[in-house]
Amino acid sequence: MSRANRLSFGILAACLFLATQATAGKIYRWVDEEGNVHLSDRVPTEHARSARSELSESGREVERIRAARTAEEIAREQELEKLRAEQQRLIELQKAKDQVLLRTFRTEDDLLMARNGKLTAIDSNIQVIRGNIRRMKGNLADMQQSAASMERQGQRLSENLLKDIENTRTQLRDSYTAIIQKEQEKEAIRNRAAKDLARFRSLKNLQEENTDPQLDQERTVSLLDTVVVCRDERACDQAWIKVEEYVRQHATTRLQMLSDSIIMSAAPLKDEDISLTASRIRHKDRPGAELFMDLQCKSSPRGDEYCRSEPVEKIRTGFRDYLAEANRAQSAN
């Protein structure tokens, strides 16, 4: 029997059944997996979880009962509810952020000035750190000179002197780590401000019309441009050899410190001196390290001008390329 014939027969049977059950109680109608229509005043156990309709004495549907959900359907529905709840939470969070953004800044200029103020404050902090580094380099040079003089005279180096030298070296390493952290803070501020500016323009239906260089500064040279990441101890050891080569080739002051974590030439004395310091800052939570090179010139008008010259800029930007080329050569071999 075809499906159409089965349905016609089912409907006819339903009409006959209803005619004989005019005074009966509840009447249920359901369709089994084979498409057969069933009518009864009770639902057999094997169809208890199936979708069904409750009919009135006249055959009109008065209630529809959905099929019982499977365990998989229940799990999917629960997961969907979680996703909807998280989506709603994110929507409410974004609304709250938008309100704060609009209350905090009236114009694009306000937002950009706030960003630039934060960057300027961090730059000032970095300059203080770099000034301390210059001072520590000078102190270290004096202590090393004293130590060399004592050794030439056959005198035993005092524990205090050795301790001061080691403490100064540790402070120098910590100072360069702090500089990297400050530069990373600046990058985070720039990224947040860029997102806030894009959102502000969207909320206000504004075009990108602000081109004032004092308000919308281009990204200046970052010390992070000289950071190279090595993935594990072996790769870092190989790269560290090249770092020493680079410092020896380009620093114009004598090598003042050489260890497995810092390579440093002495502080600049002349206006055209270049002092280089490389730090190997190991990751605390994973293998590898960040190799960071800092370039300093003499703190004088001519020294500052020389530090901004093209030859010096090539030394600064060439550090990363030098290590990358060395890494490619090692990979080829």
- Give the pLDDT mean for 9-28: 52
- Give the pLDDT mean for 58-79: 73
- Residue 94 belongs to some domain of the structure: no
Which pLDDT value is given to residue 303?
93
Q: What is the pLDDT of residues 84-98, one digit of tens each?
A: 888 888 889 888 989
Token output for 210: 């602000």
* Same domain as 282, residue 200: no
At 31, is the secondary structure helix, strand, or coil?
strand
The CATH number that applies at residue 247 is 3.30.310
Prediction pTM value: 0.63
CA distance linking residue 27 with residue 19, whole number of Å: 12
Domain hosting residue 180, numbered range: 103-204
- Residue 123 belongs to some domain of the structure: yes
The conformation of residue 325, written as its DSSP 8-state character, comes to H
CA distance linking residue 244 with residue 226, whole number of Å: 14
* Same domain as 58, residue 12: yes
* Same domain as 245, residue 192: no
Phi, psi of 94 (to 5 degrees): -65, -40
* Same domain as 61, residue 159: no
- Residue 132 belongs to some domain of the structure: yes
* Same domain as 165, residue 118: yes
Q: What is the pLDDT of residues 139-149, one digit of tens each?
A: 998 998 999 99
- Residue 96 belongs to some domain of the structure: no
Q: How many domains in the chain?
A: 3
pLDDT bracket for residue 214 (50, 70, 90): very low
Which pLDDT value is given to residue 208?
58
Task: Give the residue ranges of DSSP H helices in the chain.
Answer: 3-20, 71-104, 108-152, 159-204, 233-250, 301-307, 310-332
What distances in angstroms separate CA 59 from CA 6, 64, 168, one per listed residue? 19, 13, 96
In sign, the C-alpha dihedral spanning 312, 140, 248, 290 is: negative
* Same domain as 237, residue 196: no
Helix 108-152 to helix 159-204 angle, to the nearest 10 degrees?
Answer: 170
